[in-house]
């Protein structure tokens, strides 16, 4: 499952039917495969939005993202 999710995160365009079949061979049914895909994709989506907006990144020269000096 983790190999599937890493591939989905790093290179989703490389996914093949074989990747899904590996999950089936490991005991996941279609619902489980869908849930794995949806959850991983959602986290990737939210993280990319947060990265693009600088959420959680301290501003240069201050104590945090609020723009106010720490302390």
Query: 3-state class of 45 per DSSP?
Result: helix
Confidence at 58, pLDDT banded by 50, 70, 90: confident
Q: Helix 2-10 to helix 17-25 angle, to the nearest 10 degrees? A: 160
Confidence at 63, pLDDT banded by 50, 70, 90: low
Segment holding 4, helix H or strand E: helix 2-10
39 closest CA partner among 3, 70, 9: 9
CB hemisphere CA count around 10 (13 angstroms)? 6
Mean pLDDT of 37-61: 89
Which are the contacts of 54, defined by CB distance < 8 A and separation ≥ 6? 65
pLDDT given at position 67: 54
pLDDT tens digits along 27-37: 999 999 999 99
| Pairwise pLDDT comparison (59 vs 47), residue with the higher score | 47
């Amino acid at each position: 499952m983790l190999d599937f999710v890493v591939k989905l995160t790093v290179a989703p365009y490389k996914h093949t039917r074989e990747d899904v079949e590996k999950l089936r061979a490991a005991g996941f049914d279609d619902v489980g495969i869908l849930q794995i895909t949806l959850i991983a994709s959602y986290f990737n989506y939210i993280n990319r939005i947060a990265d693009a907006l600088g959420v959680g990144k301290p501003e240069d020269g201050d104590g945090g993202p609020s723009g106010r000096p720490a302390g």
